[in-house]
Amino acid sequence: MPLICLVRHGQASGAARNYDVLSDLGRAQASAVGQELARRGLRDPHLVAGTLNRQRDTARIAAEAAGFPGPLHRDARWNEYDHLALLDRYAPPPDGERSVQDLLDHALAAWMRDPDPAGGGTWTAFAEGARAALAELSAALGRGRDAVVFTSAGLLAAVCGALLSLPDEGVVALNRVAVNASVTTLAVGGSGTTLLTFNEHAHFAGDRRRMLTYR
């Protein structure tokens, strides 16, 4: 039975002018998750990443740490939504009491309810793109081959929410707790693709706990 490991990218550079760059910690997280993937003994892993820098760089560093020969395939359907645009469009004005994460939760929920967003695509189209990418990957894997996809929290939440038939509130909750460089594992069987584990991050336990981040 093929396995698909969905890996969230390492920490991006939130304080920098260009968010879409791994921080120093993000690069260390990518190496750590690569070591974890190597430990799992994946079979001839098919490697896929979105086209964002933080996704591709996480894939490159993790694959090197894991000893995966590649090649790395790119698919923009695994790209994250533009969280800054969502905050501009939907978030209430900052009041000094709500965290950025609270504002993002509010904006994401508002986007999900908006049937015709001004200046952007719908949540439905975003989530359907993720599900289509997963379906194509699942169909392409043979019995003796696994896959690793390097993506982002919004895609993980969309895919897992669909597999679990969660309401919008549940998808927002999944998005909120996604750990950088965590692993979500799916199994591809005759009856379809099934969620086995979500947001695994034991590779950041013990003396690596300082590497645990959510944003």
pLDDT of 7 strictly over 80: yes
Domains in the chain: how many in total? 1
CA geometry: angle 113, 126, 183, nearest 5 deg:
110
3-state secondary structure 115-159: CCCCCCCCHHHHHHHHHHHHHHHHHHCCCCCCEEEEECHHHHHHH
Task: Please tell me the distance from the alpha carbon of residue 16 to that of residue 104, in angstroms, as a whole number.
Answer: 19
Q: Is 78 exposed, middle or buried (0-12, 13-18, 19+ CB in 10 A)?
A: buried
Q: 77: which 2 tokens?
A: 């359907």
What tens digit of pLDDT does each residue of 103-126 get?
A: 999 999 999 999 988 877 999 999
For residue 41, give the CATH number of its domain: 3.40.50.1240
What tens digit of pLDDT does each residue of 43-76 get?
A: 999 999 999 999 999 999 999 999 999 899 999 9
Range of the domain at 195: 3-211
- Residue 101: which pLDDT band, with cuts at 50, 70 and 90? confident
Task: Please tell me the distance from the alpha carbon of residue 154 to that of residue 206, in angstroms, as a whole number.
Answer: 27
pLDDT for 191 = 85
**Rg of the chain over all Cα atoms, to the nearest angstrom:** 17
Q: Which of 16, 100, 66 is nearest to 181 (CA)?
A: 66
What average pLDDT score do residues 79-87 get?
92
pLDDT for 73 = 97
pTM for the model stands at 0.94
Three-state DSSP class for residue 194:
strand
What tens digit of pLDDT does each residue of 152-200 get?
A: 999 999 999 999 999 999 999 999 999 999 999 999 998 899 999 999 9
What tens digit of pLDDT does each residue of 8-36 get?
A: 999 998 765 678 999 999 999 999 999 99
Task: Please tell me the distance from the alpha carbon of residue 80 to that of residue 138, in angstroms, as a whole number.
Answer: 20
Task: Please tell me the distance from the alpha carbon of residue 12 to that of residue 30, in angstroms, as a whole number.
Answer: 11
pLDDT for 144 = 86
- Residue 135: which pLDDT band, with cuts at 50, 70 and 90? very high
